[in-house]
Amino acid sequence: MTEIRNDWTREEIASIYNRPVLELIYEGATVHREFHDPSEVQVCTLLSVKTGGCPEDCAYCPQAARYHTGVQVHKLMEVDEVLDRAKEAKEAGSTRFCMGAAWREVRDNRDFDKVIAMVKGVNQLGMEVCCTLGMLTHDQAVKLKEAGLYAYNHNLDTSEEFYEDIITTRTYEDRLQTLDNVRKARISVCSGGIIGMGEREEDRIGMLHTLATLPEHPESVPVNALVPVEGTPLENQPRVSVWEMVRMIATARIIMPKAMVRLSAGRVRMTLEEQALCFLAGANSIFAGDKLLTTPNPGVVQDKEMFQVLQLRPRSQAIKNADPV
Ligand code: SF4
């Protein structure tokens, strides 16, 4: 039985990450089978409920107000509209609905009250409800938990060492504090990162090390490949190879065996065969719908075909209530 460990060293993680890739995939697949049903993939939907105009400077993000990317700024959506979108997502097979707002942090104002109403409504649909709203205090996390929030996403993005090359408007410590606030409110933690931003392999390993040595592993680890957007500082970054994605996914799977490892942004540029390798390496979730916040994503029909060809099943039930958080 694979042991759940929170005392990984960077060297141990590096030696996993750098294994011959086919060995690494085999080990990821083996651990995956021990903890998860390999024929099931959770389908999630991510909706941007407030788009653009963000004061932060995340170098990859088309929603930062300071970059000229053509993203249309949109104020917070109405609660009913969001609930309609959640119902559509549920009917299309999603069991997790994540609402993203381009905010630096949550403020205690009317918009937060609206988000609380959205969380209550989506929770009543029986879906796992997740939010990604920027930095969050402990009190705000408690309010969201009381409204029925199941999970909160706050990515580390990259290693502590590379972080300042990507974001200068808040610190790595701020991010860890938000994760701690979320955890202490007994909300399931979703945190991962992005590769292909110009980081070194050591940074990828460093980010995985930070996640895997938190007092409790995140229940959800999104692995994103940068989708460069014109107008952002990272617009000319070269595409990461599937082998780099596979190394990240398999390593995350091996060191955080219980987590849902989510094959997130960047799928739009992957073939079906490349995505199959990611599932084999241990990914067990995707985001559905033709947009991931503001960047392109494969359409629902394309994903249905992929599930058929690979003989995968979308997970039919939300896991909330089954997960001790
Ligand atoms: S990633 Fe989030 S915090 Fe950073 S600029 Fe984009 S919307 Fe703002």
Judge if the beta carbon of residue 54 lies within 6 A of ligand 1: yes
Specify the DSSP element, H or E, that contains 88.
Answer: helix 79-91
Q: Which letter, b or e, does each residue of 247-284 get, where b requires 16 or more Cβ atoms within 10 Å of its Cβ?
A: bbbbbbbbbbbbbbbbbbbbbbebeeebbbbbbbbbbb
Q: Which of 40, 63, 43 is nearest to 53 (CA)?
A: 63
Catalytic residue chosen out of the listed positions 85, 96, 98, 175 = 98
To test ligand 1's pocket by mutation, which of 58, 135, 224 has the most ligand atoms within 8 angstroms of CB? 58
Residue 5 dihedral angles phi and psi, to the nearest 5°: -120, 140
Contact criterion met (CB below 8 Å) for 210 and 161: no
Active-site residue flag, 190: yes
CA of 292 from ligand 1 middle (Å) equals: 13
Predicted pLDDT of residue 323: 46
Residues in the chain predicted with pLDDT less than 70, given as ranges, are 290, 292, 317-325
Predicted pLDDT of residue 315: 85
Contact criterion met (CB below 8 Å) for 223 and 252: yes
Q: Which of 202, 207, 226, 204 is nearest to 218 (CA)?
A: 207
Active-site residue flag, 131: no
Predicted pLDDT of residue 52: 94
Catalytic residue chosen out of the listed positions 170, 262, 267, 315 = 262
Predicted pLDDT of residue 130: 96
Predicted pLDDT of residue 325: 41
Predicted pLDDT of residue 320: 55
Q: Which atom of ligand 1 is nearest to the CA of 132?
A: 2
SS3 of 46, please? strand
Predicted pLDDT of residue 258: 97
Q: Which atom of ligand 1 is nearest to the CA of 54?
A: 8
